[in-house]
Amino acid sequence: MEGTSLFLKTNDKKVLIIGSGEVGSRRAERFLDTRAEVIIVGNTISDMLKDKGATLKSIKSKEDVDTLVKWADIIIIASGDNELNEYVGKVSKDMEKLVNRADYPEKGNIIVPTKFKIADIEISIYTQGKSPLVAKKLREKLEKAISEKDILEIEVQDHVRSILKDKIDSQKKRKEILYEIANNNEIVKLISEGKLNTAKKYAEDIINS
């Protein structure tokens, strides 16, 4: 697929999931966790998805499909009904919707990649659909590679950036100070020791010096 990765704000989006099986349920949960409004077309859904706010609907005609697709901003096609999948895909394309096809990814225009989040670090992995297994292995490697030190360093940098935005107009100058603080031996040492507040105070002293 020709495209570029991005993060899309979905708390104000309406998401239609076609299929209530394992894949559809997993993707529904993912969108529900971002506070999107989610409708699932299928036979049944778990109590967990209901508790998170998912609505279960059945379709009896093509008109029902048309109505739901028109309602949605994002459509996830993940049912075992090929005829239904193709019809939803066609209608979604005609309405220029964002569509993810779990059955034939190349027929959609968005991908829902494997992802993980540790504190404020979120990483998505996509292998062009060639190997979900390798994507999972890469995820496990990256999860192990991210340390508490990395998380604390982000906290310090965020603290510094908020101060610099109020104090310094020049983006170039702010960047120079951010690099100076990131490479400061004392701050690196404090972060390694888990002394977040002390590291922040030391960074403030550098800014004010």
Instruction: Examine the pLDDT at 65 and tell me if it is beyond 80.
Output: yes
Pairing between β-strand 74-77 and β-strand 55-57 as defined by DSSP bridges: unpaired
Among the listed residues 68, 52, 70, 51, the one whose alpha carbon sits nearest the alpha carbon of residue 60: 68
pTM: 0.86
In the chain, the DSSP E strands lie at 14-18, 37-41, 55-57, 74-77, 98-101, 114-118, 121-125
Rounded to an integer, the average pLDDT of 192-203 is 97
Q: Is the dihedral of CA 168, 174, 177, 178 positive or negative?
A: positive
Residue 25 banded pLDDT, cuts 50, 70, 90 = very high
81-123 residue pLDDT tens: 999 999 999 999 999 999 999 999 999 999 999 999 999 999 9
Asked if 135 contacts 113 with a C-beta cutoff of 8 angstroms, the reply is: yes
Q: How far apart are CA 147 and CA 151, in angstroms?
A: 7
